[in-house]
A and B are shown apart, each in its own frame.
Chain A
Amino acid sequence: MKFGETIETSAKELPAEWQPYLIQYNSLKKNIKSIVEELDNTFRTLHLPTSSTDTAGSQTESGEQCEYDVGHDTRSTDMCVDAEEARTATCAQLPEVVAYNIEKDNDGLVHPVIVVKLHKHASNHCEQIVELPDIAGLPKSTSIMMPSLAPPHLVDSAGNVVPNSRLVEDVEEMQVTVRLQSDQMFFVQLMNYIERTRAFEQSYTQQYTSNVSSLGSELTFVTSPFKHDFQVWREIFRLYLDAEVWSHAEGDLRPTNTAREGQDRFSKFTRHIEAIGLTRQFRDPLSAKLLVSFYKLNSELTYMKLLQEMNELATRKIIKKHDKRTHLIAKTQFPQLVTFDTTTLTRALIFTVYTELVGIVPQINDYMCPMCLNIAWRPLRLECSHVFCSRCVVKASRCRMFNCPVCRSKDAIYKAGVSNVDQALLNFLKLYFPKEIKERQRDIQQEITDEETGAIVAIQSRNRPCIIM
């Protein structure tokens, strides 16, 4: 499939009001065609050997930095003859250097410039500025500085012919700067697309953040530990965290997966929620409504990532096409003028979702005892501020482990006592994880009973002599 079609199909996936912010690949592609034409014409009027930029597609993919296929053009000699008849009589010569530069001026406008350097040629050069027709919206820099390669004279305002050998006398080499209108148009348009999208992203981010905040404040109602739906929401968010819609390195929420992968994972998550019927457990109708908003915010996030990815790809592709067709290599220069970043914005948005929505509901994993990997039962805070179950601390000290198991802080366990019980955390956990705490309590009770029976059995068996039947 052609990329132009690919981008159009992708566009259809985006919400309608987002579609204009995709880079219009096909219209840029048309521009390239006119660049090729203008390039061809310009070089013909300049009597430089035309570059073999055939639109027919016979491009030689040299891949080198700005290579005009100069010198291999048999037409150049023919043109000289024509030129002589048209008062211009210079043989086209091989340019020494042809450079293509893209510059950005202070107003942020981009100017692509072709600089052709020629060896000093016989004698008859002069400079001439040819004004090209001005096109609305473009800066006036649409002139061509070119050597009039032929008559060693200029026509002055009065119409007299002025000999003009003086101008080139001490010029060692000739430099011609060509500004192609169509090329400039191409870049202005491309930049416009990019900037417009950027502006959209900015306003979108603001709106998104405020949407998240308002959803967050509504969520606090239904996720209060005194409400029934609290447990359901906790399960939903736990599954959401497990689904890892956006994978990222530890401690950095920069997504490392693509929008498509994110989309897949997210729809897997919603299907799972559906399958296990969590939504049917909601009692408050508000919960169902909020879940829909939560879904919506998430899918918008994937759209945003998709838009950014498509635009980045489209820019890369169109520049590649531009380079291939015109042989003016922008591939290395253009990316320095604009930066594409498909992760920073999404990272910021993901961060807001995590902290302001998912983070509202405490998850058990954040209150684990590192020793038993279960909820910290009667949490004890050591002097190094690491938290463990009271029971685990007792067990560790029985095994003569006195340092903190996490940070090895010396004698932290040894020094710990009843005063180290974190009462606030204990109440918090009781409130938010009543089921888990109860279960844990039962387990520990069982464990203690087992231990005691074990001890009694041990004493009994020690006192009883071995009986051989």
Chain B
Amino acid sequence: MNAHLIISAFVLGLSMSGVYFLLTVGLSLCYGLMRIISLDQFLYYSVGAYMTYTIVAVTGNFWLGLLAGILTTILIALFVEKIVYKRIYEKSVMFSMILSFGVNLMGVGLIKYIWGLEPKPVKAPIGGNLNIFGTEVPGYRIFVILLAALVYLAVCYFLNKTILGTAIRAGIDDAEKVEALGINIYKLFTLTFLLATSLSALAGAIHTPMVMVVPDMGMNIIAFAFMVVIIGGLGSIKGTLISSLLVGQVVSFGSLIWAPLADMAPFMIMIIILLIKPTGLYGSKYMKR
């Protein structure tokens, strides 16, 4: 194994981490505040990807596609939140899991109905290669890494420095007290859900040039997203970041060593971590029984 291979695998791993982080931070936030596990984030991921594909095919502009993907999913999410989630915020986590999986499944069926089954390619908006220590690395991957880092910083800023973010963090700690202060917690719920959704759509949109756009793309990434969420611990942004970095590298280097290892190694790591800490690395204290 030479240095070129290691550097390119490292960069690939980092860019995958970026996608995983964008996808799972929404799941984590939703769990933290609303105590729901919103599996329909994977639908928004696919919709973001498909909208990007469609707009790129029509206008040729990737950034327009990215924006359209995010806006479309926000509209869908508003609808889903109003129809489905409003009714189940009070109920147990299990309820939201089954229901949101149903939403996800229905969405996959609709996507198959609208766009058909065949894989769709999307060209990367940033061509060219970057030279890192003598290794040529696709510039788009660097862009994905930078974007994910930027989103992490932005989310941290939003949660820690703004009034709304502070209210959300307070809601994560004690939702009843926040309501007692006169803040409409359901508005916070909607806001958090939309934030999570737009991040998922962003993940789908920026993932398109790296994979084929297929109806089952949400289902294909579901296992990795779950592993990231479980390793990091539900409800923790920092944990999600660290575990997505870990899983990205493990997948990338695993596939370098032996192809099936790419899928199995993260699972092994997850099992080991759960053996040591059943709530994941940074699991919230409410997860403990």
Partners in one complex: no
